[in-house]
Chain A
Amino acid sequence: AQRVTQPEKLLSVFKGAPVELKCNYSYSGSPELFWYVQYSRQRLQLLLRHISRESIKGFTADLNKGETSFHLKKPFAQEEDSAMYYCALSRGSTLGRLYFGRGTQLTVWP
Chain B
Amino acid sequence: NAGVTQTPKFQVLKTGQSMTLQCAQDMNHEYMSWYRQDPGMGLRLIHYSVGAGITDQGEVPNGYNVSRSTTEDFPLRLLSAAPSQTSVYFCASSSGLREQYFGPGTRLTVT
Contact = CB atoms under 8 A, between A and B. Distances in A.
Instruction: Give chain B's interface secondary structure class.
Output: strand
A96 B35 CA distance: 13
B75 interface: no
**Which residue of A6, A44, A101 has the most chain B CB atoms within 10 A of its CB atom?**
A44
Interface residues of A, number: 22
Interface residues of B, number: 25
Given A97-B45, A102-B40, A44 B102 contact: yes
A89 to B, nearest CB: 12
Contacts of B45: 97-99
A96 B33 contact: yes
7 contacts: A42-B104, A44-B90, A45-B102, A95-B31, A98-B45, A100-B44, A101-B42
